[in-house]
Amino acid sequence: MNGPPGVPSPAAVPPSAQPASALAADVRDGLSRTPKQLPAKYLYDELGSLLFEAICALPWYRVTRAEIALLATCAPRVAHHVTGEPFIVELGPGNGDKLLRLAEAFGARARKPHLHLIDISSSALAAAEQALARLAGFTVTVAHATYDSGLAQLAGVRPHAAPMLTLLLGSNVGNFDDDEAVAFLRLVREAGRAGDWLLLGADLVKPERDLVLAYDDPLGVTAAFNRNLLVRLNRELGASFDLDQFDHRAVWNDRHSRVEMHLVSRLPQQVAVPGAGIVASFAAGESIWTESSCKYTLAGIASLGTAAGFRLREQWLDTDAGFALSLFQSARG
Ligand code: AVI
């Protein structure tokens, strides 16, 4: 989602549906700012999505594995709370693995939940749909859309009487800054009704060394994920970024409780980006800020939900990996 400086989510516009002009406008704007920055949503072209999947398998990036393990404990409790024949929406389902595990906890019901996937990546939607095909009796629908537009369409898709459970997992919320996160969670709440549910996965503050290793791994996968953004700009906007002249850097920003990813220019240079109509000048050591990943305390997660109009109902914690799942309910009246 987000985080990236001022961007709502890794979800914004599907790469395939992304008009070149939107990318061009964002690049023109972002590279004219001080500090230079680019929306993190542009990290997720086809190769970027594959690299992110590889990141999730790295020993140093524990978010995905911790969340999947925690789902085993929490899914039956979620199913206990969310009664009836729910409409379950996942924002950014990835390969569908987490939703599959959660949905299995509802499997004993005579009337199965309706699963609805919203993602900017058509390849992720296809993979998730395939994974969920294993579930017998569940209806699965997809929206190839940004989170915002997918949420805006929900009223027309959701069966009238169904309680809604929205999943925002994988610490995607951390890619927003706190104000953006509250605004986004409010959007989620407003897309539903009083009494609806939100399951939020969020990564916790942990020792700086572990955080930096998670975003600057010894195999260089995260570096490739970050630098692939320059590959994309070269391909889609005819830019002339020399990959050898930009270093990946991950830094812990204690004041804002976030890991920031940057691409740092090794030397003074000018880079033409014809598709955006600019030539960007870099000083040696000057960076492009490409992503922020906020890290939370349990109380901080509760406050985000409360500020957006939710009430915390239950929280599950992996103390070893430092990860939490929180079940919120939209406040009534
Ligand atoms: C998608 N998002 C929650 C990931 C994160 O941890 O911020 C993206 C990521 N960037 C580098 N590693 C993983």
Q: Is 279 helix (H, G, I), strand (E, B) or coil?
A: strand
> Could you give the angle at the alpha carbon of 87 between the alpha carbons of 84 and 93, nearest 5°?
135
Which tens digits make up the pLDDT trace of 286-310? 999 999 999 999 999 999 999 999 9
* Best of 42, 51, 52, 56 for a ligand 1 pocket test (most atoms within 8 Å of beta carbon): 52
Quote the pTM value. 0.91
292 in contact with ligand 1, CB cutoff 6 A = no
Task: Report d(CA 227, CA 258) in Å as an integer.
Answer: 20
Counts for the chain of helices (H) and strands (E), in that order: 11, 13
Residue 20, pLDDT score: 57
Strands (E), 213-286: 246-253, 258-265, 269-273, 278-282
pLDDT digits (tens, 9 = 90+) for 177-225: 999 999 999 999 999 999 999 999 999 999 999 999 999 999 999 999 9
φ and ψ at residue 101, rounded to 5 degrees: -65, -40
Give the distance (Å) from ligand 1 centre to CA of residue 17: 22
Cα(160) to ligand 1 centroid in Å equals 35
